[in-house]
Amino acid sequence: MEKAVEVKLNAIQMVCFSSYFLPGYVAHKDASVPQIWPRKGDPPTQAPSKRKKLVFFAGEMNSRVRKYLLQEWRNVTEIFVHQGRLKTPYSEALLGSKYCIHAKGFEVNTARIGDALYYGCVPVILADYYDLPYADILNWESFSLVVSTVDIPLLKKIVEEISFDQYLRLQSNVLKVQKHFQWHHFPVDFDAFYMAMYELWLRRSYVRLPLGAL
C-alpha cells in the first residue's frame, strides 16, 4: 500500500496488523480487525472459581516483549509464562486461567486475544502502539487489561490489585463480547463480519473519489 499513495490515502484497509510503525497502515483511517481462528459451536464455559491459574502465557520467544516477559516471570507461580508449546492442551490452560496475556510476537497482532475471549479468559494486552480491534465500538477497559510493556515488572502487582468483584465484572463482560469475535460461514447478527462492516460504515467519510469518477 505504501507504493500506491492514491489508494493508501483514499481507501480504507481492514487489517489485523494495525501497528503505528507499519508504513502501509494509517491510524484512525484504516480499520483494525481481530485475528481469529474459525471455530464451530458455542464457546466452552468454566466458572471463575475453577480458574486456578492467575495469569497465563505460552508461546515462542520471538520478540523483545516476550523475552522480557519470560525474564521477569519465568519462576513465579502466580504468573505462568511458558516458552514454546505446552505438553497439555492449550485450551485447558486458557479455560483454567483468570487472565491470559497477549504479547507482541513477530507482529503486533496475534490470535491470543481471540483465544482468550473464546475461552472466557480476561485478556491482558502487552502491545504498545497497537490499534485494538473495534476500538471505536467496544470499550476495551470493560473486559480487558491494557498494560504498557514498560510495566511488565509490575504485572503481578497490577493484577493482584484487582478485587475479585472487579474480576467478575471483567469476566462477565468477556462473555458478552465473545459473539463479536466469532466468524460464521453465514454471518450471524453482531458477529465479526457485522462488526467489520460497522467499522467500515463509521469510516465512510474517509473515502474520496477522484473528480473524474463523479
Query: Measured between alpha carbons, how far is 175 from 152 in angstroms, rounded to an integer?
Result: 26
Where are the extended beta strands (E) located within the chain? 14-15, 31-32, 53-59, 79-83, 97-103, 122-126, 145-146
Query: Measured between alpha carbons, how far is 62 from 68 in angstroms, rounded to an integer?
Result: 11
What confidence category does residue 209 fall into, taking pLDDT thresholds of 50, 70 and 90?
A: low
- Domains of the chain by start residue, with CATH: 48-177 (3.40.50.2000)
What confidence category does residue 38 fall into, taking pLDDT thresholds of 50, 70 and 90?
A: confident
- Model confidence at 70: pLDDT above 70: yes
- Check residues 203 and 143 and name the one with the higher pLDDT: 143
- Model confidence at 8: pLDDT above 80: no
Mean pLDDT of 126-137: 90
Q: Can you give the pLDDT at residue 214?
A: 47
Q: Which residues pair with 80 in a beta bridge?
A: 56
H/E run at residue 155 = helix 155-160
Q: Coil, strand, or helix at residue 124?
A: strand
pTM of the model: 0.90
Q: Can you give the pLDDT at residue 2?
A: 72
Query: Measured between alpha carbons, how far is 64 from 121 in angstroms, rounded to an integer?
Result: 24
- For 10-33, write each residue's pLDDT tens digit: 788 888 888 877 777 888 888 899
- Model confidence at 213: pLDDT above 60: no
Strand 14-15 versus strand 31-32 pairing type: parallel
Mean pLDDT of 114-118: 96
Mean pLDDT of 188-210: 85
- Check residues 121 and 28 and name the one with the higher pLDDT: 121
